[in-house]
A and B are shown apart, each in its own frame.
Chain A
Amino acid sequence: MSFLNPLLLWAGAAVAVPIIIHLLNRRKFQKVVWAAMRFVKVSMEQNRRRMEIEDMILLALRCLLLLLLALALARPAMRSSTSDLFGQSKVTAVIVLDNSASMGVSDGLQQRFDKGRKAAEQVLDTLPTGSAAAVFLASDGVNAAIPEPTHDLNLARKVIRDAPLSDRATDLFAAIEKAHETLRGRTSLGKEVYVITDGQQSAWRQLGDIQKLLAKAKDARGDQSVQTRVVLVGEPEERNLGVTDLRVTGGLTPVNRPLRFEARVTNHGKHEATGVRVTLQVNAEPPGDDVVIPNIPAGESRAVSLFARLRTEGFHSITARIPDDRFAADNRRTLSVRALREVRVLLVDGNPGAEPRDAETFFLAHALVPVVPEEAEGYFIKPAIIPVADLAEQRLDDFDAVVLANVPEFPASLVTTFEQYLRRGGGLLIFPGAKVNVAFYNDQLHKRSNILPATLGEPRGDATQEDQFITLQSKGYDHPIVTIWNDPGSGQLNSARFFRAFELQLPPTTSEPAGKREGEKSRSPAIPLSQAPTNPVPDAGVSKVILRYSDHSPAAVERPWGLGRVILFSSTATTTWNDLPVRPAFVPLLHRTLASVVQRQDEGLNLRVGQGFARRMAAEWLGKDAVILSPAHSGGARELRKIELAGGLPMLQYDITDRAGVYEISIAEPPAVLKFATQPDPVESDLTEVTPDELRALGESARVIRWNPTLSLREMVEKERLGSEYWLPVALLAMLLAGLETFLAQYFSRSK
């Protein structure tokens, strides 16, 4: 037996009261001078024993009465597997309803989420009168729809009925942990957590931690024990295709030029898929390009290239789509792309040479405008080449990017100019060479201003010979600039030979791109819901390795700086130290590198579902209202946000991004339209169920129930529900004793 209010057991000390009263009363009596004493004496002797017994009975009854009252107040409770005569004690429950994207899988009639909602309502129906319930919506985060248990179960029902489905991934650990935390410390005999989910394996990726948590809660004593029931809705799905990736392969996105997009389709089903048509749609236009994938074996993916043209400058949505199956949410993927009219690049030539071909910027200029001279004028990349001496006169803000090609040094005052340029979003590419003043770069650009992503060490190799060289890495291209080379069809980077190159020494805070090494699997991190991005934009960001040599030493590194980016190569942009400029990969590498600096801010246009959107806006928009329209397929809700200062910069922030697709931002004055897009976690497309072994393991600490419409959840739960409070029978017994005491007191005190 346990007690829900154990402190009130001290009320049992009140049992001393009738004893004290009994003793005190013996001091209060009437005095009578009496003659017929012998008759009184005889009568007393005749009745002494009976009176003593009666006194004892009454005293015992009074003491017992007080003890029972104290017991009732302490709310005794006992666990029993049989149903209780006095009814079930109330329950405090938390319902965790999975509203991740996979709950959108349909069986042809209903989605899993509809079944989940029904199951949740059935759970509410099982709760005894007086119970309370909280409701959490769980995906890769927790949305506390009803954060604290409420006795208003009708409210809980309404919340469940109105609960929205999201396009988020699933990781149930956080929600289950929060549910248990909510119940902790509550005084209730019956504490229950219901996890209503579809059984997707990826949702239980932290199964070990979940099991530990559930087991600890289940084995806790008394009113700290929490029973967890996992209700699995939905049937296993054997077929599912999903568009798991969509990206711009070219890097830069100019208007009116064919842009290549790569869409990846993954077959998560158990059967081969054939004839999969992939279409590409720009904005709301009719689908443009399409490709048919002949077959995708089970468990594999295929990438296809699709082309589209963006007719106007500005923001566009690009959607890759495959035919709908039972899981429609992953059959499309949308990107937001900003089309550029032109990209102005300032090439600073540190060693012009006698011949044009000798100039440090020769290969760069040609790579940047890789068209015939007749078309060069109309090409969107506009390079401008200047000598170092003219650098001070240039307005860097007129250019989207600045390339320093073997520039020895420049006035220290220009370092500040570069800082301001980068802070405002400019891009800087640095190709070192024999002319560079290493000390200048390391002192001024690295030590002083932290512009340089790495320090220049000693150059290694011999550029005068061609026998000894190093090559670039052959696989494991993880940085976004170089990921296309993971596809053999994009060519090879590692064919380029480097005869001489600077050693790049990275600062201690350097990170690997997205925490990956070659061969390491990608894992989506849990994204907290409703978290706006941090406001301040630090000047010097963390240095990242873009590309490595085959000996693993860095070949190119980058660092965000302000709103801009700096990319440092380890070798020349000419064929002086390497032959990369004459390799086919040079042009796309340069273009993708340029895109990463020019369109740095546009990286924030494409987010994972659930991530917060934040974009630095022009000063003229400060204080203005922006209307944000949600993706059309999710209902197209409108929200208002104000452009406010954050970290000293005018920022527009928005965090309600639970649905995948394009979000359209409209600002009235000065008029502007922006678009950003959210993409679902590709892991969510994998509908593989938890294995029987995993279910069995889960069943050791929780009750696992396979829900179906005909299941009587109520019956099942009521049968299992443990324990009842016994305060009512104890109180009834106390009342009975009170009545008996009153009756006996009257009876004993009658004339005898």
Chain B
Amino acid sequence: MDKAHIDALLDPVAISRAESLGLHARLLVEGYMAGEHKSPYRGFAIEFAQHREYSHGDDLRHLDWKVLGRTDRYYIKQYEQETNYVAHILLDGSESMKYGSGRLTKLGYGKMIAACLSYVILHQRDAVALDIFDTVTREYLPRSNSHSMIHKTMATLAGFQPQHQTNIAEVLHDMARQIRRKGIVIIISDLFDDEQKILDGIQHLRFGGNEVIVFHTLDPFELEFPFTGLVEFEGLEAIPKLLTRPQEIRKSYLRELEGFRTRVREGCEKNHCHYVPVNTGHALHEVLAGYLAFRLKTTTR
């Protein structure tokens, strides 16, 4: 893959705005290094976090003597320590992602999201793992926070071509089983699969303590269904050709699509996941910056 293709994945404006916003941990993450993210480990701390009542067996070194002197009550101090996280970027590389009504396909757009997020996260000295999947994982880059990871990530993204159908849920479940350390799982997909299974996969990831962000990537034509006349739709995946007059089924289509997105969004919200609707017709920097700003505003430190 040549440099031009690699460089095309990094939108400079998006990078610039995303860097300034950063991708901060929304929930407490496990991490080894001291860094920007709050570690859930309370064992040693630099910074006092909170008191708790003394229980028999607690280490008396953490007893807060001042509170004892003031109140004659026994409280232990708990401390917070900032640490790094691993971001697992799961990019849907199935055939349905090949569709694009404009300059970019959904996959192309998704690659750019993945590339920009990888860049930002690695720049933050957090780790990134990349998984491009369809029915199974097709391309995998294990987590790394080294500078060379960005190049590997770009090259892997640029070189990938979709060939198969989708089975997102299975991949999510696999991921949930594989992840040892809680981190952030970023799913970039059109989610054209059984949404309940997808939500089950997401829930599995959440049960593992991971934060999940879903970038639901759809093409503007998929969102608006602007076709007229007599059209034969040729499916990219399992469903065979369908001949119809689109304007006569448009309302039904939009209703169905909206229902699907609503269910996915509600499912995500139920699982405390961020659901980010992505219209590949919109500028990438707006989508990313918009989400990261929202995330920054809503993340508690």
Contacts and interface: CB of A to CB of B under 8 A. Distances in A.
Contacts of A44: 242, 244, 249
Contact of A28 (B95, B230, B256): B230
Given A43-B252, A749-B248, A38 B229 contact: no
B263 to A, nearest CB: 13
Interface residues of B, number: 38
Nearest to A47: B249
B233 to A, nearest CB: 4
Interface in A36-50: 36-44, 46-47
Is chain B's binding surface mostly helix, strand, loop or mixed? mixed
Contacts of B231: 29-32
Contact of A30 (B190, B232, B247, B260): B232
Interface in A402-417: none
Given A46-B252, A751-B251, A36 B232 contact: no
B57 to A, nearest CB: 58
Contacts of B97: 35
Contacts of A29: 229-232, 243
A35 B248 contact: no
A468 B192 CA distance: 144
A86 interface: no
Given A29-B230, A43-B253, A43-B256, A35 B244 contact: no
Interface string A12-45: 0000000000000110111111111111111110
A51 interface: yes
A395 interface: no
Q: Which one of A35, A36, A40, A748 has the greatest number of beta carbons of chain B within 10 Å?
A: A35
B234 interface: yes
B159 interface: no
A521 interface: no
B99 interface: yes
Nearest to A748: B248
Interface string B242-286: 111111111111001100100000000000000000000000000
Nearest to B243: A29
A501 to B, nearest CB: 113
B114 to A, nearest CB: 19
Contacts of B227: 30, 32
Contacts of A43: 249-250, 252-253, 256
Contacts of A158: none
Contacts of A34: 99, 233-236
Q: Which one of B96, B219, B232, B245 has the greatest number of beta carbons of chain A within 10 Å?
A: B245
B98 interface: yes
Q: Which one of A25, A28, A34, A37 has the greatest number of beta carbons of chain B within 10 Å?
A: A34
B234 A32 contact: yes
Interface string A734-752: 0000000000000011111
A25 B230 contact: yes
18 contacts: A26-B243, A29-B231, A31-B232, A34-B234, A35-B219, A36-B96, A36-B190, A36-B222, A37-B239, A39-B256, A39-B257, A40-B242, A41-B239, A44-B244, A46-B249, A46-B252, A51-B245, A749-B245
Given A36-B96, A752-B248, 5 more contacts: A30-B227, A32-B233, A33-B99, A39-B256, A752-B249
